Structure 1
Amino acid sequence: MTNVRDVVVTGLGATTPLGGDVASTWTAALNGESGARTLDNDWAETYGMPVNFAATIKVKPEEVLARPEMKRMDPSAQYAIIAAREAWTDAGSPELDGDRIGSVVSSGIGGIWTTLDAWDTLREKGARRVLPMTVPMLMPNSPTAYVSLEFGARAGAHALVSACASGAEAIAYGVEMIRSGRADVVIAGGTEATIHPMPISAFAASRTLSLRNDDPAGASRPYDVDRDGFVIGEGAAIVVLEAADHAAARGARVYAKIGGIGLTADGYHITSPEPTGAGQIRAMGAALEDAQVTAADVVHVNAHATSTVVGDLIEARSVSAVIGASADRVALSATKSMTGHLLGGAGALETVFTVLAVHHRQAPPTINVANPDPELALDLVRDTPRALPAGDIAAINNSFGFGGHNVALVVTNV
């Protein structure tokens, strides 16, 4: 596929378990810090929850947003607005025709806090006490709608829902909006706010969460032989995508290029990845072809790598199959070891990490891997950052989700 328009990244924004913005989040990641911590509440005791820790957001929304706007937004939208404002400012706050600006901000679960709070209100106090803003707050398109309203983005406001691949798929869709000519600039990314006893209990019941209550910071350990599940996280990450010619015309600073996108589905199982990794392989291969680069150009992979027993190695084998003989030159990072798993926000945050890795020529580390799985046939960046080579380089960001969603993005230098 030949790109109609090259798409570059001119702005970055985030609020995460590692920091309240991109700079603090990136610094913490390079330092190998963990955002996982014991929950400061009585949920585990009250509800008999087997997990009492999570990667909670580092800077609370009330420290950033005005109270009136917080009252009309679910936390998922609050996080998205915080990240979007940072990204837009980082892009230079361009003055553009709103008809040429798009918004694609996704969430894997949506306004779960609003939904469950409203149900509690209905049961305990009756229908008259349910807030009139409940539906606009709980709907999964609420974050992208608020971003569209904030920046007057009228080329389209979309919310693609593909579980833990949602944030990455939102960015892929934003790229397609620009390539097709629908927009010159797209504010894209993902958000999630699910640190609530019900989702935590549900994930624990599915046996996908780590149970290391005595060591939250060391619980997420992708590719370690003792991995026992992921750490649930929360937050948002947003990128400002822009047509390269449009960015050049306004003299914008450019971080990197989103050179290729690949999207496939397993068609196999609602929660388990297809064992051979065929869909993942096709997604990565499509993204490389779309970017017009080869496996030999890839120097870095930010893996989906959630720290589950089965999923990590399926992805590792898929990456090895795609990279082939170049595997020994590829720096593999699993940043969920530090951030936890932001679900619908994960792919967007890891895109930010991949963009910064290419821009700064530095791959972030993977922490908590004391005993690497002997089946891992890739060069894992452990504990400290890894310098990436000079010249033209490419990196892959993988995001996979329940339902068999596979998204691969290829980021290249400019």
Structure 2
Amino acid sequence: MKRRVVITGIGPATAIGIGKNDFSAGIYGLKTCIAEIPKCYEQNYTFKSRYFVPKPEFSLTDLIHKSVEGMMEESSRLSVLCAKLALEDAGYQIDKAEKHMQVKGLENCPIIIGTGMSSLQTALESYSAHMVGVEMSESDFESRTGSSSSSGTNPNPNPNPRTTGSGTRFNRMVIPMLMTNSPAAWISILFGLKGFNYTLNAACASGTFALGEGYRTILSGRSDVILAGGVEALVEKNGAIMRGFDMLSTLTRAKDGRPQPFSQQRSGFLFSEGSGCVLVLEELERARNRGADIYAEVVDYEACSDAYSIVQMEPSGDSITGLFQKVTQGIKIDYLNAHGTGTLANDDIEAQVIQRIFGAKSTQPYINSTKGILGHSIGASGALEVAVTALSIKESRLHGNLMSEPMDNLNLPLETIETPIDYALSASYGFGGHNALILLKRYEENE
């Protein structure tokens, strides 16, 4: 009998809400969190895009000692927070163990985390310090950690890089903080999970790829449960990372910062400094046996490459069309959580694919773009959007699109609506031509 995979835990951390309940209230309430770029961003460059989404503010001191938290770059802090939220939401008990924590029944749980870019704040600071010869002194180290440097730990000087007041210091933990495997590794270390763990990178589709590979892991019988999702932390106190996107002319130039995906007024995506989401995926019988609450069933995942450009979608949309044809064959899709960045070319190509697959507006599923609310968080975006899709199936409602002047011939609700959803798709497309679709369906207990 074919194994079945369900979603039993959702752990989001975003500027509009941390944890499933606050996140859900923000999404369906169409709440945004948009800030104007600080003056310090424009010391040597004038930004075309004037707004961004700040990273969520939080602390892990209720879980771990501050010296341990200090060894993490922001993406790792996000991954640990999201894993905790997902495990708790799935009903797993997290206990204090001799070293850090232990999750009963998940000792061999694997972990797959998608991320688009390695966090760069500590790397840039350490490089600058290296070039000017500034080292972190013993007294600096002890005052910032509350412990002696002989302990072998060295924290991030400040969890909020934009408020760093002192001069740049070389962080001797820069290598483990910079390692792209760190977000997954820290989950394993801190929660005592000894299954395989790794990060993967597929740019803006990273979170979707991670969840898809997690689904395949359970489907193949390699594991009965897995933590999977995506995190991204692009915060940098002087705006250098945001500048990189701005120079590619990919960011919104809207006067109020709203990206308005699939609108005639769109001009680019809204830059997000950081967010994350981890989900618990389980084999159905395991979930049933422990009485888990099930959000939705994962029934398909497919991915492909455009083989076209490092930053542009292939104009014909043929590769994406092929994915849709493979995943939706014989299935009526009620809801599509689109990639919907708000860039001129990408939204146009995506709209053409939707019309090619589903026909006119009257025969299309409901379509929305979560990036219109959250901004674009690169490697985390796919995981957040799968979470939104699962919540929408569970709650029989979907969020509206924040826009004026919708593009023609697209079924875009402008307000949050209640509607039954049996099958729903989440779509992600990333720089480099990485494309992925995940198909979810409503879980019925009597099936």
Aligned positions of 1:363-382 closer than 5 A: 363-367=398-402, 369-374=403-408, 377-382=409-414
Aligned positions of 1:243-392 closer than 5 A: 243-288=283-328, 294-296=330-332, 298-324=333-359, 328-367=363-402, 369-374=403-408, 377-382=409-414, 384-389=415-420
Q: Which runs of 5+ in 1 are unaligned?
A: none
Rounded to whole Å, the distance in 2 between the matches of 1:287 and 1:322 is: 11
Rounded to whole Å, the distance in 2 between the matches of 1:322 and 1:273 is: 18
Choose from 108, 111, 125 the match for 1:103: 111
Rounded to whole Å, the distance in 2 between the matches of 1:162 and 1:337 is: 21
Q: Which protein is bigger by CA-based radius of gyration?
A: 2
Rounded to whole Å, the distance in 1 between the matches of 2:40 and 2:240 is: 14
Aligned positions of 1:9-158 closer than 5 A: 9-40=7-38, 42-45=40-43, 47-61=45-59, 67-93=66-92, 95-99=104-108, 101-126=109-134, 130-158=170-198
Q: AA paired with 1:106?
A: G
Question: What's the TM-score once normalised by structure 2's chain length?
Answer: 0.84
Q: AA paired with 2:282?
A: E
Provide, for residues 129-163 of structure 1, a one-character-per-residue CA deviation record: whole Å limited to 9, x for no partner: 63332111111111011112233332210211000
Counterparts in 2 of 1:51 and 1:45: CA distance versus 1, 3 Å: farther
Alpha-carbon RMSD across the aligned residues, in angstroms, is 2.0
Counterparts in 2 of 1:86 and 1:62: CA distance versus 1, 3 Å: closer
Aligned positions of 1:136-285 closer than 5 A: 136-196=176-236, 197-212=239-254, 214-216=255-257, 219-233=258-272, 234-285=274-325
Counterparts in 2 of 1:97 and 1:25: CA distance versus 1, 3 Å: closer
More helix by share: 1
Rounded to whole Å, the distance in 1 between the matches of 2:250 and 2:184 is: 29
Give 1:50 shift.
3.5
Rounded to whole Å, the distance in 2 between the matches of 1:141 and 1:41 is: 33
Give 1:386 shift.
1.8
Counterparts in 2 of 1:67 and 1:208: CA distance versus 1, 3 Å: same
| Residues 40-49 or 145-154, more deviating | 40-49
Rounded to whole Å, the distance in 1 between the matches of 2:419 and 2:406 is: 22
Aligned length: 397
- 3-state secondary structure, aligned to 1:410: strand
Q: AA paired with 2:349?
A: I
Q: Which runs of 5+ in 2 are unaligned?
A: 94-103, 137-168
Matched-pair identity in %: 27
Give 1:364 shift.
1.0
Give 1:21 shift.
1.9
The answer (yes or no) to whether the contact 2:203–2:431 under 8 Å persists in 1 is yes
Q: AA paired with 1:215?
A: D
Give 1:29 shift.
1.3
The answer (yes or no) to whether the contact 2:251–2:267 under 8 Å persists in 1 is yes
- 3-state secondary structure, aligned to 2:211: helix
